[in-house]
């Protein structure tokens, strides 16, 4: 990422960059001086400060952000996983519809949720499928900051754990592992956090079916909860809306209309 820190963030056509306030312009200057070009500014439509950091530089940058007195990001507020599969690709062509719904339900097999995504061009293409976003807070300076890190392996996404920097990362990283399948090297206890025992898959991944794979019920004969294949039938959930009919014909006017 040499030289990346001194480049102004490039806003795409779909994102209008908003200028930072003086407080965050000053913070950006401090980070430029401290980080030795290890961070790249991210564009923001709401004037928030965020940076892209390489996985190998994550721990070093987090330690500096926490320990430098002029920065002082002593609190990790949240860790969020992101799945960019299909991000920015438009499959909602709603000008015309069949009897069963719009193109999302017509042109794509609901059992193959990513079948057509590769055929549709996107305005933004993420460099990798999975990313992790860290939300930081400096209580002493009353400033917030985001760090984004992409996982370089789409099949087995993993990043170093920041639990050695902020203890609060423990459950946040477990949540990202549970919901997205992102592994955190060095985590002291990387177990599922929200899903049930024996759960298969990661429900926040874009290719995980919305109806799930199994359903559960209490079986009075067995005296316990049992799991069975899901019985919900996939269906089109987008309503058919008639946008053009005789009511909108420019040639049809009431007698009293001019």
**231 pLDDT higher than 50:** yes
pLDDT, position 114:
47
**Would you kindly state where each structural domain of the chain is located, as residue ranges?**
4-88+123-208
CA–CA distance, 5 with 42 (Å, rounded to integer): 10
Q: Which residue has the higher pLDDT, 208 or 86?
A: 208
Region 4-88+123-208: CATH code: 3.30.460.80
The 8 Å CB, 24+ separation contacts for 6-15 are 6/32, 6/37, 7/40, 7/41, 8/41, 9/40, 9/41, 9/42, 9/43, 9/44, 10/43, 11/43, 11/45, 12/43, 12/123, 12/124, 13/123, 14/88, 14/123, 14/124, 15/43, 15/45
- At 180, which helix (H) or strand (E)? helix 169-180
Q: Using 50, 70 and 90 to split pLDDT, how confident is the model at 36?
A: confident
**175 pLDDT higher than 60:** yes
Query: Rounded to two decimals, what is the model's pTM?
Result: 0.76
- CA neighbor of 173 nearest in space, from 83, 76, 80: 80
pLDDT, position 102:
47
């Amino acid at each position: 990422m040499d030289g990346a820190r001194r480049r102004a963030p490039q806003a795409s056509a779909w994102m209008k960059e908003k200028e930072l306030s003086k407080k965050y312009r000053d913070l950006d200057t401090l980070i430029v001086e401290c980080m030795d070009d290890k961070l790249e500014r991210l564009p923001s439509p709401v004037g928030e400060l965020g940076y892209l950091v390489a996985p190998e530089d994550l721990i070093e940058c987090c330690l500096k952000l926490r320990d430098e007195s002029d920065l002082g990001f002593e609190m990790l507020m949240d860790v969020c996983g992101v799945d960019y599969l299909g991000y920015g690709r438009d499959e909602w062509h709603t000008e015309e519809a069949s009897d069963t719904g719009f193109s999302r339900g017509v042109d794509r097999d609901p059992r193959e949720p990513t079948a057509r995504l590769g055929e549709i061009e996107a305005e933004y293409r993420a460099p990798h499928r999975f990313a992790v976003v860290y939300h930081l807070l400096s209580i002493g300076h009353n400033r917030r900051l985001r760090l984004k890190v992409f996982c370089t392996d789409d099949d087995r996404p993993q990043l170093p754990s920041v639990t050695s920097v902020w203890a609060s990362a423990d459950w946040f990283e477990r949540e990202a592992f549970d919901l997205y399948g992102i592994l955190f090297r060095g985590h002291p206890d990387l177990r599922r956090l929200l899903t049930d025992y024996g759960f298969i898959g990661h429900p926040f991944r874009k290719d995980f079916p919305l109806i799930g794979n199994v359903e559960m019920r209490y079986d009075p004969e067995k005296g316990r909860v049992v799991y069975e294949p899901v019985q919900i039938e996939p269906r089109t959930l987008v309503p058919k809306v008639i946008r053009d009919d005789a009511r909108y014909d420019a040639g049809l006017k009431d007698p009293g209309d001019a």
